[in-house]
Structure 1
Amino acid sequence: MSETDWTQEITDGTGSDGNASAAASELAFSSLPAFVEDFFLKVCLRHEVSAWCPKWWDHEEAVLRLEALWDAFEALRREPGTGTAVWIRDYLDPTVAALTSPETTPFRGCDARRGAHHVGRALTADAPPPGMFVVHTIEDEDASSAETGDGAAKTQR
């Protein structure tokens, strides 16, 4: 059983330059690799799974899902009462299922036992017909304020 209380601050509050950083000191983990290697794999994913890739960081979908899981963990770990339970039910369990299920895993072409590593090709999409969707543009505040009179962003069609 781990002696670490994951609901409390566990960083030393210093950045790589040795200076304290308020934002970093509030995080339990200083980076996504630290979260994955020191917590996700050691605490949350301790059982044998049908799909995992040691080069998880090379799979964009896995990085996206793990980053969202880490963000949710950092937000919910200090919530009194059911914060951790909510994180497990709403974030951890669906993420583990998506990453390790043979049907949904981004690691389909990988097999750590055989040393196989394959990053799938991104899907492509045809451009929609012109004018089908609204295109939002960000212009500097002065131009936008002058045209709309209220400082709102201008929308092009």
Structure 2
Amino acid sequence: MKTKLIAGGAALIMAAGVYTLTRETAPEEAAEAAPAQGAPIVEVTLPDTLSAEAELGKRAFDAVCATCHGENASGKTGFGPPLVHVIYEPSHHGDMAFELAVQNGVRAHHWKFGDMPAQDGLTKADVTGIVTYVRALQRANGIN
């Protein structure tokens, strides 16, 4: 009798687990769960002030990089990763990594956004300013 009760309870638990794993999510639940296409991926705290070089970098970033990496490097769902992220801290991705990414593009390796193409129309000074801007954002968000 106890064996049948235990087996019945186990079967009930397994059935509930299978139901939970295989049921389809209601469309309204799915919409709530997934961020909208183009939505920021992370929240970014802005620094109180930017240096003159970082200001120039912000302008270049807004003109070229924000299309994929989002406003204030917060990332953009469906487009590109946030640069205000521990993955891009200076000890893991040095300034030269940003310069090479702009010059040569990057094969996807940390995120599933696909490869980043090389970016035309940016001078070395533009990229230096962009890196200065991104590093200022990172510091304001505890990424050093």
TM over 0.5: no
Scaled to the shorter chain, the TM-score interval is under 0.3
Which structure: larger Rg?
2
TM-score, structure 2 normalization:
0.22
TM-score normalised by length of structure 1: 0.21
Q: Which has the higher contact order (CA 8 A, sep 6+)?
A: 2
